[in-house]
Amino acid sequence: MIFFKNINLRKINYGLILISMCLIIPISFKLLSNKKADSENILEIVSNLISFKTVYPNNPEEFTKCANYIKNHFKDTNLHIEEFEFNGSPSLVISNHKTKNFDIIFCGHIDVVPAPDNLFKIKEDNGILYGRGVSDMKGQVAVMMQIMKDLSQQKIEKKIALFLTSDEERGGFNGTNKLLNEENYSCKVAIVPDGGFNYNLVIEEKGVLQIKITAKGKSSHASEPWNGNNAITKLFDLYAHINSNFPSPKNQNDWKTSFNVGKIEGGDSINKVPNEASMYIDIRHIHSDKMENITNFIKNFDESLNIEILAIGKSFKTNENNTYIKQYIDVCESLLNRKIDIIKLHCASDGRFFTEKNIPCIMMNPEGGNIHCDDEWINLKSLSKLKEIYESYIENFIG
């Protein structure tokens, strides 16, 4: 910016006005071109990320290629890159300060669910991007990568890091969980753009409890059921008991714990009463329904049942009135020119690992949807807007 001091405005001639215009106009064009460049950079990064078939366990070499691409993206910067591998799952930590205690940690994952080969090449239609992982969550990863690269060109005291993990679709236990609980990274606030499309702020996600319940019975000939004890029907009785106490949610706004029977095993012959059977249940529980209470509820119905826990993921709950989250909401409402809606999600994410450690977590996505589907999509302009939100939040961040 150019400043003129002690000038008598009445003596300014047209030549000076023309010179001033020539100096000012290129600046405004530069601002416009930066936004265009942002969009082009994000599109290029997303396109490259999508091309890696980072599906576990099919393609371990694709994870290596993707990690190498990400590292190469930052090769000419002054950022610090730490590499980790937990039980075969690679993770990267990219930061602008060499520390483990940050102001803000951005967190994303590069793994995706399986898809046909044609979905690993990005398609664009009127500003909408299609492909496996564009909204879950390689589009958001591209934005966060560009944020970090931009930070490398600035000298700021604020300590910012980016986690990029590769096992979120399998629970996140060998990624974000390890970085926080074994490598002892920490922050004042985390940003995990893995839920809350159309700039909705997620304040709660359900926990995950996957269990195998095995019932024992007594065999007999099918024609003499009174001489046996059918293990399969014991499981049917259990499920009826569960359903009467935990009726299934009717829609996405019906915020309650759900039970899904995904698989049943039992019996070895149609003309024989089965003496053993197992039922696999996926439970998505709200924050107020604790896992211990759910397992005790099942056990109390029939103490002979054996309950094997297959997977656990705690629920996510964050406080919208937290100072850092309120700052973020203010930035969003200013840039989007609308009120931010507060929502709850039925799924789970790596955000829970931060809230387990009492770290406030911001979860919000740009415009996109149909995750895990063949028509998964994201709006390119909204990715640029997300970057603008992050830039403003970092600039105005008060630690």
Is residue 103 scored above 90 in pLDDT? yes
The single residue listed with the structure tokens 């371990």 is 60
8 Å CB contact between 264 and 245: no
Per the model's pLDDT, the better-predicted residue between 91 and 1 turns out to be: 91
* Nearest-angstrom CA–CA distance, 78 and 398: 24
Is residue 16 scored above 60 in pLDDT? no
Dmax (CA) for the chain in angstroms is 113
The single residue listed with the structure tokens 């690269």 is 149
Is residue 194 scored above 80 in pLDDT? yes
pLDDT of residue 5: 36
- 372-388 pLDDT tens trace: 999 999 999 999 999 99
The first and second tokens of residue 389, run together, are: 């939100």
The first and second tokens of residue 367, run together, are: 């415009």
pLDDT of residue 57: 83
- 343-365 pLDDT tens trace: 999 989 999 999 999 999 999 99
8 Å CB contact between 167 and 111: yes
Residue 315, number of CB atoms within 10 A of its CB: 22
Per-residue pLDDT band for 22 (boundaries 50, 70, 90) equals very low
Per-residue pLDDT band for 159 (boundaries 50, 70, 90) equals very high
Q: CATH 3.30.70.360 region(s) of the chain?
A: 207-313
pLDDT of residue 41: 95
Work out the burial of residue 190: count CB atoms within 10 Å of its CB; fewer than 13 is exposed, 13-18 middle, 19 or more buried. buried
Class of domain 33-205+315-396: alpha beta
Nearest to 351 by CA among 164, 135, 193: 193
CATH number of 207-313: 3.30.70.360
Nearest to 163 by CA among 181, 145, 189: 145
pLDDT of residue 71: 98
pLDDT of residue 349: 94
Helix 139-151 to helix 380-396 angle (10° resolution) is 40
Burial 138-166 (b: 16+ CB within 10 A, else e): bbbbbbbbbbbbbbeeeeeebbbbbbbbb
The single residue listed with the structure tokens 């102001």 is 103
Is residue 32 scored above 80 in pLDDT? no
Q: Cβ contacts of residue 331 below 8 Å, gap of 6+?
A: 389, 392, 393, 396
pLDDT of residue 35: 74
Is residue 300 scored above 50 in pLDDT? yes
Residue 311: phi and psi, rounded to 5, are -155, 145
pTM: 0.85
Q: Percent of the chain having pLDDT more than 70?
A: 92
pLDDT of residue 29: 31
Is residue 18 scored above 60 in pLDDT? no
Is residue 302 scored above 70 in pLDDT? yes
Per-residue pLDDT band for 38 (boundaries 50, 70, 90) equals confident
Cis before 137? omega within 30: yes
* Nearest-angstrom CA–CA distance, 15 and 349: 61
* Nearest-angstrom CA–CA distance, 45 and 41: 6
Least confident among 50-59, 131-140, 226-235: 50-59
Per-residue pLDDT band for 12 (boundaries 50, 70, 90) equals very low
Q: CATH 3.40.630.10 region(s) of the chain?
A: 33-205+315-396
